[in-house]
Amino acid sequence: MTEIISSSQNSRVKYLNKLYRSRTRRKEGVFVLEGKRLIEAALAGGADFLEVFLTPAFFKAAENKDLISNLKKCSEVILIEKKLLEKTASTVNPQGIIAVVNEALFKGGEFFSAADKILLLDRIQDPGNMGTMIRTAAGAGFDGIIALKGSVDIYNQKVIRATMGAIFSIPIWQKLSKEDFLKEIKNSTINYELAAADLDAENYYFEHEYSSKLILMIGNEANGLDKELLEKADSRIKIPLSGDIESLNAAQAAAVIAFEISAQAIKSIS
């Protein structure tokens, strides 16, 4: 590992660059992580590392010794010039380290058997919203996320950063179509309550008693939840709004309801 890549024409660098396009990423089934903190979180979360690119300065720094030794156990570690790494990265300061990680794929029975409380996201567009909802769902004790087709790619750099590492803490099934989701639910042996966040619901979110097997459905920022999903819902709930405020940001609404569900579960135990 004495060689330090310095040319943008190097085949590994060219490959890494291509992974910043979502189409290539999907085809390869991998995603890219930038910065020490995220990569530590990925390691702790048991992510499957393929390649790690480091600057010589990052490699030499005493405080990175443990991380590098752990990464070497599960991944190829490649040295690359600082300028080249920064040119490739999407963040202004990738902190000297970029990793390529296999997508964690969760599907079908395997996904449902491990998930009691699922957050379903219907065509969420904003990467910050998507990332923060992943973080919040994991924090509220949800154990699965379904991001329906039409939502922003969860492996988008902005999404990953907004999760603050939580993307490794919760199984996520993305790019599932609405039709396939409804089939999966119909065929599942688990009888989930489908709860829809809906501005026109009759009941307030805190008046409703949520089932222990639950799928909370949150809709698109501008248009709310898909009509068919709304029709299939077992329960509809709304958040009471004051004054002339017509709606909340989707991620804010998700947080309010997810933590009410969490609070009900905690109260029922104690």
Q: Give the footprint of a copy of itself on this chain (CB under 8 A).
A: 44-45, 128, 132, 135-136, 138-141, 162, 164, 166, 169-170, 204, 206, 239-245, 247-249, 251-252, 255-256, 259, 262-263, 266-267
| Distance in Å, CB of 42 to a copy of itself, minimum | 12
Of 2 and 270, the one with the shorter C-beta distance to a copy of itself is: 270
The answer to whether 206 and 260 are in contact (CB under 8 A) is yes
Q: How far is the CB of 245 from a copy of itself (least distance, A)?
A: 4
Give the nearer residue to a copy of itself in terms of CB position, either 139 or 150. Answer: 139
**Which conformational region is residue 150 in: left (phi greater than 0), alpha (psi within -120 to 50 degrees), or beta?**
left
Of 141 and 150, which CB lies nearer to a copy of itself in the complex structure?
Answer: 141
Residue with tokens 């600057």: 55
10 Å CB burial of residue 80 (0-12, 13-18, 19+) is buried
What are phi and psi for residue 123, nearest 5 degrees? Answer: 55, 45
* Strand blocks (E) in the chain: 4-5, 30-34, 49-54, 76-80, 97-102, 117-121, 144-148, 172-176, 193-197, 203-204, 214-218, 235-238
**Rounded least distance, CB 75 to a copy of itself, Å:** 21
Nearer to a copy of itself by C-beta: 19 or 218? 218
For residues 59 and 259, which CB has a smaller minimum distance to a copy of itself in the complex?
259
Q: Which amino acid is at 253?
A: A
As measured in angstroms, the least distance from the Cβ of 11 to a copy of itself is 36
Tell me how far, at minimum, the Cβ of 123 lies from a copy of itself, in Å: 18
Of 93, 107, 148, 153, the C-alpha closest to 127 is: 153
Task: Please report, for residues 26, 94, 156, 249, the alpha-carbon distance to residue 19 in angstroms, rounded to integers and kept in the order given.
Answer: 9, 16, 10, 31
- Choose between 17 and 247: whose C-beta lies nearer to a copy of itself: 247
Minimal distance, residue 117 CB to a copy of itself, in Å: 10
Distance (Å, whole) CA 47 – CA 168: 7
